[in-house]
A and B are shown apart, each in its own frame.
Chain A
Amino acid sequence: MTDTRTERTAVLAVVGAGPAGLAAALAAASRGVRVLLLDSAPAAGGQFYRQSATGPGGPGGPGPRVPAHQRRTWDRLRTALDAHLAAGRVVHLSERHVWCLERESGGFVVHALLGPEQEESSAVRADAMLLATGGYEKVLPFPGWTLPGVVTAGGAQALTKGGLVLPGRTAVVAGSGPLLLPVAAGLAAAGARVAALVESAGPAGFARRAGTWATTPVKLAEGAAYAGRLLRGRTTVMTRHMVVAAHGGERLEAVTVAASDAGGGPVPGSERRLVCDVLAVGHGLLPHTDLAAGLGCRLDGTGVEVDDEQRTDVPGVWAAGETTGVGGAALSLAEGHIAGRSAAARLTGRIPDPRGWAAAARSRARLRRFFAALEAAYGDPPARWPERVADDTVVCRCEEVTAGAVREAVGTLGAGDLRTVKLLTRAGMGWCQGRMCEPGVAGVAGCALTPARRMPARPVPLGVLAAPPDPTTPR
């Protein structure tokens, strides 16, 4: 590699060490840029290559099994990262919860809370930013969804993969979207009985795609290979069904599922009660966009808008992976690679040559098409789902705001948008800053889901806000 080094090597800060951030960091570091890789987790890997408690999952390892092809990709990323770390080209700043990015002349300041305590902040300077913060799960509310034992589908995955704990003996996996299948398969592989997979999309969208996953080279999810086995096994698969209530006193004991008609309304008399001690539920993923929005980057729908080089509309800021739209680990790797190469070229004063990343661009195009088709196959959540949310159901988990209060804000008090609903009810003002309740509150209120601006991106102790730390500049 021939580097045209200036007196000071340019510094790229990458936020997020998942597939996108890792690919970006590696691409940039091998092209003459110093990389600061920041992540809130103790180890690199992100949601996909999540590291299990006593070492990586895999052959002989303690974690749930990971198919060989992904294990090879992970080993490659890990080996390359280790080499860059040893050579000092990448510095991995783990357990850094980035809460604010500041623009300053000629660069950026990255503010992050340290460690699990998050009572102290640190700051570093960088010449450019690459955001690879991934996404989080969207869950629509229903009576009983706050009971212990009800977890998000990704959360169940995180507990089994990373925490080596089986969240229950009998599981129901419910909601909508392609993540449910690997989650159900993962729970079954770890030893749980998966009583039912409850998918709100119709059978056409679901079953046809189940076959596609198993044969596609995309390998959307590690569970794809298990999918057929799971569907043939003891798991009842219900399509165009929804969980309408979770039951239990201090923790989950059972759920009620019901069929939806073509418009998403309840089919009378279709309710069935299923005994379970864990419910893994999710309705797709939403991109983490707070940091990008804080810098003033334009959003495209729910994700950060990027050009062919993965640049945002703010000079010096790139974005890659699920922060730009949900599309799986392979797409995140391709986007990260392109972003890292583009950033490195521009930071070292060269014009990036897209021919250098043609293969990644082709796979990006193919995977984006695939995910667009997948999204179309699943469609939106059934239009009339809010009808099944009773007035006394908590919709904002943090502030304990009920569906009734939201309906009153709209009906009696005339609120017409999410912001007004929030001001009148406090829904979305708690710890999670609306990340968990926004889609639910919007649905119950009948308002459009507008991307919220959340600054800071993480709750910050007042002392930290009062005395922001001085940034250090890496040499």
Chain B
Amino acid sequence: MDPLTPARTGPDAPFTVLFDGREIRALPGQSIAAALWSSGVTAWRTTRGGGRPRGVFCGIGVCFDCLVTVDGRPNQRACLVPAVRGADVRTQRGTGHDDRHED
């Protein structure tokens, strides 16, 4: 088994969420960060100053490095927000506030 796929899958059926328009797999109860990471996506934001890539750092909602736009709402912490079927997750650039009205 590819070591980047979830270590052990449970009885509940996986589903998909959208990440920048493409479908990625998620497990019930997985955070958006965990779902992205299991699909090999480790960065989903660029910083305001240097435009540098960022993803998960603390994993528990303290560092705010994992900010992402979910269903049009910017600045959601991907490590805390549970993945739900069909969620529209998008890369966030800078402050994230430009994304709000993007389609």
Query: Does the CB pair A169–B30 fall under 8 Å?
Result: no
A1 to B60, CA, bound (A): 38
Query: Does the CB pair A397–B57 fall under 8 Å?
Result: yes
Closest to A52 in B: B29
Query: Does the CB pair B28–A53 fall under 8 Å?
Result: yes
The A345-397 residues at the B interface (CB cut-off 8 A) are: 394, 397
**Taking A53-B27, A54-B28, A165-B38 as contacts, is the C-beta distance between A150 and B57 under 8 angstroms?**
yes
For residue B29, give the distance in angstroms from its CB to the closest CB of chain A: 4
Q: Please tell me if B89 contacts chain A, counting CB pairs below 8 Å.
A: no
Query: Does the CB pair A251–B53 fall under 8 Å?
Result: yes
Q: Please tell me if B80 contacts chain A, counting CB pairs below 8 Å.
A: yes
Query: Does the CB pair B34–A159 fall under 8 Å?
Result: yes
Query: Does the CB pair B63–A435 fall under 8 Å?
Result: yes
Q: Which of A63, A116, A169, A251 contacts B4 (CB 8 A)?
A: A169
The B10-30 residues at the A interface (CB cut-off 8 A) are: 10-12, 27-30
Task: Specify which chain A residues have a CB less than 8 angstroms from the CB of B47 in the assembled complex.
Answer: 400
Query: Does the CB pair A165–B6 fall under 8 Å?
Result: yes
Interface residue tally for chain B (C-beta within 8 Å): 48
Chain B interface, DSSP helix/strand/loop, else mixed:
loop
Task: Specify which chain B residues have a CB less than 8 angstroms from the CB of A416 in the assembled complex.
Answer: none
Query: Does the CB pair B54–A146 fall under 8 Å?
Result: yes
Query: Does the CB pair B57–A116 fall under 8 Å?
Result: no
Q: Please tell me if A175 contacts chain B, counting CB pairs below 8 Å.
A: no
The B75-96 residues at the A interface (CB cut-off 8 A) are: 76-77, 79-82
Query: Does the CB pair B6–A164 fall under 8 Å?
Result: yes
**Taking A53-B28, A54-B9, A116-B82 as contacts, is the C-beta distance between A152 and B34 under 8 angstroms?**
no
Q: Which of B7, B27, B63 contacts A436 (CB 8 A)?
A: B63
Closest to A459 in B: B64
Query: Does the CB pair B53–A148 fall under 8 Å?
Result: yes
Q: Please tell me if A411 contacts chain B, counting CB pairs below 8 Å.
A: no
A156 to B70, CA, bound (A): 23
Closest to B36 in A: A165
**Taking A137-B58, A164-B8, A435-B62 as contacts, is the C-beta distance between A192 and B53 under 8 angstroms?**
no
Query: Does the CB pair A250–B6 fall under 8 Å?
Result: no
Query: Does the CB pair A54–B10 fall under 8 Å?
Result: yes
**Taking A149-B42, A165-B38 as contacts, is the C-beta distance between A54 and B29 under 8 angstroms?**
yes
Closest to B27 in A: A53
Q: Please tell me if A233 contacts chain B, counting CB pairs below 8 Å.
A: no
Task: Specify which chain B residues have a CB less than 8 angstroms from the CB of A55 in the assembled complex.
Answer: 10, 12, 29
A251 to B6, CA, bound (A): 20
For residue B79, give the distance in angstroms from its CB to the closest CB of chain A: 7
Task: Specify which chain B residues have a CB less than 8 angstroms from the CB of A52 in the assembled complex.
Answer: 29
Task: Specify which chain B residues have a CB less than 8 angstroms from the CB of A430 in the assembled complex.
Answer: 64
Q: Please tell me if B100 contacts chain A, counting CB pairs below 8 Å.
A: no
For residue B27, give the distance in angstroms from its CB to the closest CB of chain A: 5
Chain B interfacial positions (CB closer than 8 Å to A): 3-4, 6-12, 27-31, 33-35, 37-38, 42-43, 47-50, 52-65, 67, 70, 73, 76-77, 79-82
Chain A interfacial positions (CB closer than 8 Å to B): 40, 42, 47, 51-55, 61-64, 116-117, 119, 136-137, 146-152, 154-160, 162-169, 190-192, 250-251, 394, 397-400, 430-432, 435-436
- Pairs of residues from A and B, 3 with the lowest C-beta to C-beta distance, nearest first: A163-B34, A155-B59, A54-B10
